[in-house]
Amino acid sequence: MDALEAALDMIWPRRLARYSGWAMIAPAILLVGILVLGLVQIAEGSLHTLDRSTFLPSEEYTLANYQTIIDSTTYWRVLWRSLLGAGLTVFFTLLLALPYSYIMVRTSSATIRKSLLVVLFLPFFIGQVVRAYGILIVLGTSGAVNDVLGLFGVEPLRLLFNFPAVVFGLVQYMLPFSVLLLAPALTAIPRETETAASSLGANWLQSFWHVVIPMAKPGLVGAGLVVGTLSLTDFAMPAMLGGGSQDFIANAIYDQFFRTADQGLGAALALLLVALGSVIAGVVIAIFGAGTLGMGGRK
């Protein structure tokens, strides 16, 4: 033990003890720093337009890329689609995740709890792309859903490559995240509080509405924020389930970087996405307090 302490003393002398905290978060700061460096570079890139004759970025600084985005109806549509898609995803995900995590937390049967957890984690082992592919198969014109509908004499429906399909895919993708974020918030509500509500005359629905949901608000806001920002920036679901017709911002960025090679415009779009996400997160935290993410920002 003494030898161990002596060795430690050589690597990290005792007088440096008050900097220990900084040393611990140094790796994290380094990682964020790299991210910021990249952002600065992207910001710089967004200020050059693409010279179509040489396919090189222009020398002079200009805001032309941002002007292009503002003037373009396509990008406005992509922006609104992303926001609407993210919003709807948040709504439906929370709607489904709340009862799911509630049952998971409150059930007295260990078997039910374990099954719910397994079902929840299973999709984590399957990548997003594979899952989207699975949805393609199930919802395809000759997929399982259309087969079942066929039994009732319904003509095959076009269930894919439209906006609802993208939202469906996103909800399916986000559900485990939001359940995992909601479960601790619901666990923190003492069972006795609900018992009290029922003794005071609330049926289970009233108790859920007046007691459980308000008390789970931090978890709901946190889950909503995570699901919202992840959906807003999602790439795979719109790409695969939207079939090119339902692009989100990330898809537009991808196209600029890797298809048209207009890195300046792509960079401008990317910065816009970062700004949008930051503003939304900032507003949500300003309204509900940092405590909503379990950081105890509020007393």
Q: Which residues bind another protein (CB under 8 A)?
A: 190, 192-193, 195-203, 206, 210-211, 214-215, 217, 299
Reduced DSSP (H G I as helix, E B as strand, rest coil) percent helix, strand, coil of the chain, to 5: 75, 0, 20
The minimum distance between CB 185 and another protein, in angstroms, equals: 13
Q: Environment class of residue 292 by beta-carbon count within 10 Å: exposed (0-12), middle (13-18) or buried (19+)?
A: buried
The minimum distance between CB 92 and another protein, in angstroms, equals: 25
The answer to whether 272 and 69 are in contact (CB under 8 A) is yes
The minimum distance between CB 195 and another protein, in angstroms, equals: 6
Non-local CB neighbours of 211 within 8 Å, separated by 6+ positions: 189, 193, 194, 197, 202
Structure tokens at 1: 């033990």
CA-based radius of gyration for the chain:
25
Q: Which amino acid is at 73?
A: T
Can you tell me the distance from the alpha carbon of 178 to that of 155, in angstroms, rounded to the nearest whole number?
36
13 versus 201: smaller Cβ distance to another protein: 201
19 versus 209: smaller Cβ distance to another protein: 209
107 versus 206: smaller Cβ distance to another protein: 206
39 versus 215: smaller Cβ distance to another protein: 215
168 versus 288: smaller Cβ distance to another protein: 288
222 versus 264: smaller Cβ distance to another protein: 222
The minimum distance between CB 198 and another protein, in angstroms, equals: 5
The minimum distance between CB 114 and another protein, in angstroms, equals: 21
Give the distance between the most distant pair of CA atoms in the chain.
80
The answer to whether 263 and 57 are in contact (CB under 8 A) is yes
What is the distance of C-alpha 70 from the center of its chain?
26
The minimum distance between CB 188 and another protein, in angstroms, equals: 11
Can you tell me the distance from the alpha carbon of 247 to that of 253, in angstroms, rounded to the nearest whole number?
10
The answer to whether 225 and 295 are in contact (CB under 8 A) is no
186 versus 241: smaller Cβ distance to another protein: 186
The minimum distance between CB 101 and another protein, in angstroms, equals: 19
